Structure formats: structure tokens, C-alpha cells
Homo-oligomer: A and B are copies of this chain.
Amino acid sequence: MWKPDRSSKKPIFQQISEEIERKIACDEYPPGSVLPSERKLADQLGVNRSTVVQAYEELRSTGMIESVKGSGTKVSKYKLGSSINTPNWRKYLDGGTFMPNLPTIRRIRSELRKDSPIIDFASGELSPDLFPLEAVRQLLQEESFSAVLGYDDPQGYLPLRRVLVSLLSNKLNVQTTESSILITSGSQQSLYLIAQCLLSPGDAIAIEDPSYCYSLPMFQSAGLRLFRLPVHPEHGIDPDDIIALHRQHRLRMIFLNPSFQNPTGRVMSTDQQKRILKVTADLGIPIVEDDPFSLTAFDGNPPKPLKSLDSAGQVLYIGSLSKMAASGFRIGWLVAPHSVVSRLADARQQMDFGLSVIPQWVASEFIRSGRLERQLDFLQSSLFHKMHRLCATLKERLSDHISFTMPEGGLNLWCKLNGEMDADKLLEEAVRRGVIYVPGSVFGSERGYIRLSYARPETGLIEPGIERLAEAIRSL
């Protein structure tokens, strides 16, 4: 007779419930048949009665068995009908390793999904009128589609990698080659590939505090241990903090967003870049530099990335079209040593066999034809205008309650709530009044901060939005 295996790592109750399920599956216990009482089965198997109770509880929760007062525990009849022979999908859905989003993020998303006219300072993305829709429409009609429709090079469409080599060199002083670029589905896929393929569960990584990275369940899903690198308002990251973290936890990687950082809008100075490159090079720690915003610099003079100073090949550099043109392209790029790019490209083949050549062709023509240049001109002045409107309104209506530093690029304004105001409580009041933002807690340890994205709301809604926020603040 079957007995639970006490040397197994699997809990006894689970072994029992699985054995019963197996017997039900193989019709040893047909639908409607009565199972042994909890006490009797416990005796047979030589286990505590509470263990059998737990096993039956497990099976009841899946609907496989049911207990009817007075008549014991039975195999559910549902297995008889045809439309109810559905596999127990719940059990499958609980598996896998993907963590859900943070509760606050889910809360915000669910508000935004409602069709109510909420004013959205929460989404860190462009408003649709800032997308180059007309330019893409024209491009599709004017340029003749010429790419091969077969499987693409695992690293991505070669003409796109070529125009990126020029773009990165001309605009950002990043010198690279086609073979060191991987085209990915936005920067998200670059981050995912790094987390999945270069790091292993249990690895320690360091992240700026505050940082949008805390809002990404991806790192937790990969089983990584996250450590905070405080960003001091004046001198930024202290290299000694990196050394101390490394000594204690052996950092495997550091994730930074040096230009118009999300959420703070901060730009890392060249001096600081050099200090950080030096200390991490000495320790042999690679840096992942996420750089979605540098080309949005309002004055058209983008800060140069860490990667432009990286003579050691220690920086994995990530860029994308999402924040400077349109997220719907799903075009991002990773610049890294060829061995890294080639490994990640291989792994990506297993996930999705690469990106469609169509948006890659569109993106390469968009850049090549000068349309990106025009988009950037338009975007820089539009974002500056929206940022300015937001800051002016905040000064006018909320100068006693909120303080901030005007950013010089990017999509976000990082605001400190004066006094003891709780940004999470305030969120509920704000939502009630039809305006939404992201509280600082989502970005790490900082409390009493909120992130307002000026890129997302229509310009005309910025003042009414802040008016609603002011009401919410007054109500507290």
C-alpha cells in the first residue's frame, strides 16, 4: 500500500492530496465515491489526523472532493459532465515564477483602466499627441517596404543597428559597432534578458534609491536580492556605499539611470560618473545603464551617458524609442560586449524568435530619414512647455505644500510634500477628486514624495489636475 515518503522535501499533506488526486484521475476513486474518514486514513498512513485534514482541505479547495455533513467526504460528481471536465486551471495559474505588480501599482492601473475622466500624472509616458503618428503614416506611404519577411538576424535588423551606431555616436558620444548592439522589445526586454540570463537567483544587485526599478516585479521574479544605493540630493551616489555594499553582499551588478533619472529627474555629473566607473571597475562590477530620457533634454544638448566614458567594457547600455518617440514601436537597444549580446540574442530566440522586422524597418527609416530629429525638436519644446506649465501652477497653488527642482529633461517632476503629509493617503483623496500620481513609496524608501509626470496629461488638463490635487491636500 502507498505510504507518504518522509524523506521527501514535499510536505506530507501534499503527498497525500496528490496521491488521492492520482487515484481520482485514474478512476480508482470514481466520481461520487466515498473517501475514507480522516481518522481512518490517518491510521492507515501512520500520520497525524491534522495532516489528512489539511490534504482533504487542499482537495476541497480545488473542487475535486466535497464534504457533506453526515455523509462524509466524496469525490465530486462534476467529473461526470463533459463541459465540466475542465482541467483545474487554478493550479496551473499559481505556478510559474512571475510575481504580480506592487499593490500600489495595481491600484493605479485599475483606476486608469476605468473609463472615468481622471487626470493622469501617474503614467510615465508621452500623451498620444506627442507620438509621431503623422510621420509614421507618411513614412509608410513614402518609403517602399524592402525588408525580407523571414526570420531576422537574432541580434536584430542590420540597417537599424547601423543607424543606431551613427545616432549613438553623433548625439551621445557612445562609440559602438553593429555587432555590439541587440535590438529588443523596448528597454523592458533588455532588462528582462539581463535579469534572466546574466544573473541567477540569489544574486545581489544594487539599485539607486529612489528608483523606478523598485516598481518592476521583474527583479523579484528573477529571485535577485535588491540593495539600495542612496542618492544624496547634492553629491549623488557615494562610491563608499558601493564598496560597503559589495563587501557585505558581493554585488553582481548595479542598475543606474544617470540622465534625468526616474523619478527624480536628476542628472549625474561627469565627475561623479568617473568616480563611479572607477570604483566599480576596481571591484569588477558591471553597470547596467538605462538611458531612455537623455535625448529629451529640453535644450537639445543631451547629458552624455556613462557608456561614453566606458573604456573597460563594463557598462551594459540600454536605450529605446519609447520615451522619445512612441512606446508602440517596441524598439529598444542594448549596447554591450559582443559576447554578452550574442548570448542574450541566443536566449531570446528561445523566448520569441526575435522581433518583427516591420517595426524595425519603420524605426530605421524613421531615424535615417531625419524624422526622429524633427520629432525630438517637437518633443523637447512640447515637454518643456508642459513641464513649465506644471511647475508654474504648482508654485501658484501649492507652494506651501510642495517643493521641487525643475528638471532639464525627461518626463517626470519629483515633488517633496512639506510637513507630515502621507503620499499614499493623499493618493486616495486625489483619486476621489479625479487626479492620479505615483507616490514615492513605489520608488523605494522615500516617503513624503510624489512623482508627477507632465508628459502624459494633455496640456489643458495640467491646471485643473493640480487644482484637484490642491483640494485633496487641503482635505487632509
Contact of A95 among B199, B283, B359 (CB under 8 A): B199
Contact B98 A197 (CB under 8 A): yes
Given A95-B198, A352-B330 in contact, is the A85-B149 Cβ separation under 8 Å?
no
Residue in A22, A86, A87, A140 with the greatest tally of chain B CB atoms within 10 Å: A87
- Enumerate chain B residues within 8 angstroms of A140, measured Cβ to Cβ: 140-141, 145
Contact of A96 among B243, B347, B357 (CB under 8 A): B347
Any chain B CB within 8 A of the CB of A476? no
- Enumerate chain B residues within 8 angstroms of A356, measured Cβ to Cβ: 185, 328-331, 355-356, 358-359
Contact B346 A98 (CB under 8 A): yes
Any chain B CB within 8 A of the CB of A167? no
Contact of A352 among B192, B282, B286 (CB under 8 A): B192
A148 to B127, CA, bound (A): 11
Given A196-B97, A197-B96 in contact, is the A26-B283 Cβ separation under 8 Å?
yes
A200 to B93, CA, bound (A): 11
Closest 7 CB pairs of A and B: A185-B352, A149-B328, A149-B326, A96-B197, A85-B281, A330-B356, A356-B359
Contact A285 B87 (CB under 8 A): yes
Contact of A136 among B87, B149, B314, B343 (CB under 8 A): B149
- Enumerate chain B residues within 8 angstroms of A132, measured Cβ to Cβ: 149
Q: Render A148-171 as a binary contact track against B, CB cut-off 8 A, 1 for contact.
A: 111110000000000000000000
Any chain B CB within 8 A of the CB of A6? no
Chain A interface bracket (under 10, 10 to 19, 20 to 34, 35 or more): 35 or more
Contact A145 B137 (CB under 8 A): yes
Given A96-B347, A128-B148, A330-B353 in contact, is the A281-B358 Cβ separation under 8 Å?
no
Q: Render A339-363 as a binary contact track against B, CB cut-off 8 A, 1 for contact.
A: 1100100110011111111110010
- Enumerate chain B residues within 8 angstroms of A102, measured Cβ to Cβ: none
A162 to B122, CA, bound (A): 30
Contact A196 B328 (CB under 8 A): no
- Enumerate chain B residues within 8 angstroms of A198, measured Cβ to Cβ: 92-93, 95-96
Contact of A246 among B25, B152, B243, B252 (CB under 8 A): B25
**Distance from A362 Cβ to chain B, minimum over Cβ atoms (Å):** 6
Stretch at the interface among A76-84, A174-182, A229-237, A422-430: A76-84
Contact A247 B26 (CB under 8 A): yes
Among residues of B, the one whose C-beta sits closest to the C-beta of A250 is B22
Among residues of B, the one whose C-beta sits closest to the C-beta of A353 is B188
**Distance from A286 Cβ to chain B, minimum over Cβ atoms (Å):** 4
Given contacts A25-B246, A79-B282, A150-B327, 6 further A-B pairs with CB under 8 A are A89-B286, A125-B150, A189-B351, A218-B350, A328-B356, A330-B354
Any chain B CB within 8 A of the CB of A186? yes
Residue in A82, A96, A189, A281 with the greatest tally of chain B CB atoms within 10 Å: A96
Q: Render A284-315 as a binary contact track against B, CB cut-off 8 A, 1 for contact.
A: 11100000000000000000000000011110
**Distance from A8 Cβ to chain B, minimum over Cβ atoms (Å):** 12
Contact A350 B98 (CB under 8 A): yes
A136 to B356, CA, bound (A): 13
Any chain B CB within 8 A of the CB of A392? no
Contact of A186 among B90, B221, B352 (CB under 8 A): B352
Contact of A150 among B128, B188, B243, B286 (CB under 8 A): B128
- Enumerate chain B residues within 8 angstroms of A364, measured Cβ to Cβ: none
Any chain B CB within 8 A of the CB of A100? yes
Contact residues, A10-55 vs B (CB, 8 A): 18, 22, 25-27
A95 to B136, CA, bound (A): 40
- Enumerate chain B residues within 8 angstroms of A184, measured Cβ to Cβ: 352
- Enumerate chain B residues within 8 angstroms of A285, measured Cβ to Cβ: 87
Q: Render A115-156 as a binary contact track against B, CB cut-off 8 A, 1 for contact.
A: 000000000011010011100110011001101111110000
Residue in A125, A184, A252, A350 with the greatest tally of chain B CB atoms within 10 Å: A350
Contact residues, A442-458 vs B (CB, 8 A): none
Contact of A145 among B136, B286, B339 (CB under 8 A): B136
Contact A311 B83 (CB under 8 A): yes
Any chain B CB within 8 A of the CB of A88? yes
**Distance from A25 Cβ to chain B, minimum over Cβ atoms (Å):** 5
24 example contacts (A-B, Cβ-Cβ < 8 A) are as follows: A22-B247, A22-B250, A25-B283, A26-B283, A82-B311, A83-B312, A84-B312, A85-B281, A85-B314, A86-B337, A93-B339, A93-B340, A95-B198, A96-B196, A97-B196, A133-B149, A136-B358, A140-B141, A151-B328, A188-B353, A217-B350, A330-B353, A331-B356, A356-B359
